[in-house]
Amino acid sequence: MPFAYVDSIYAIISSVIIVMDTSVFVSAVLGPWGASREMLRACLSGRLKPLMGTALFAEYESLLSRDALFATCRLDSSQRDSLFNAFLSVCRWTTIYFGWRPNLRDEGDNHVVELAVAGGAEVIVTKNIRDFRSAELHFPGLRILRPEDLAKEIAPWPH
């Protein structure tokens, strides 16, 4: 069910808790506009509340260290690090105490679902929908959305 905000007061005090997959962050850094960039802006402005955990942090760090991945990026390494630090400053650090093992197609993504469950996230935002939706274990109230879909849902927010 999409997020419906009755009035702007509710919208201001209510942030949607999400887990932003690394695919969205990388896309936001590489592209000057688009839904992934809007997701990053929404996190930095407080419209979305991202979660961060140990495994996801390590995945971000690994990706950000791959200079070849960012060969066409307008931001240099130190600027990317600054942007990542700004993103981290708005993340809520979440400890995973129980491994649910949802058995995703890519076993390396299980930690993303576990982080979402541990932190009470409403949405995992990812560009890799297919792998997440193929999970053997599903959690009520946790949706898997592309950046474009979540951007449409939060669009009514005042800017």
Q: pTM of the predicted model, to two decimals? A: 0.84
Residue 27 lies in a domain: yes
Terminal alpha carbon distance of the chain: 23
Residue 64 is inside which H or E element, if any? helix 54-64
| Structural domain total, the chain | 1
Residue 19 lies in a domain: yes
Using one digit for the tens of pLDDT, what is the confidence trace for 26-77? 999 998 789 999 999 999 999 999 999 999 999 999 999 999 999 999 999 9
Residue 58 lies in a domain: yes
Using one digit for the tens of pLDDT, what is the confidence trace for 77-109? 999 999 999 999 999 999 988 776 666 666 667
Using one digit for the tens of pLDDT, what is the confidence trace for 6-16? 444 444 446 89
What distance lies between CA 57 and its chain's CA centroid?
12
CATH number of the domain bearing residue 128: 3.40.50.1010
Residue 17 lies in a domain: yes
Domain that holds residue 53: 8-154
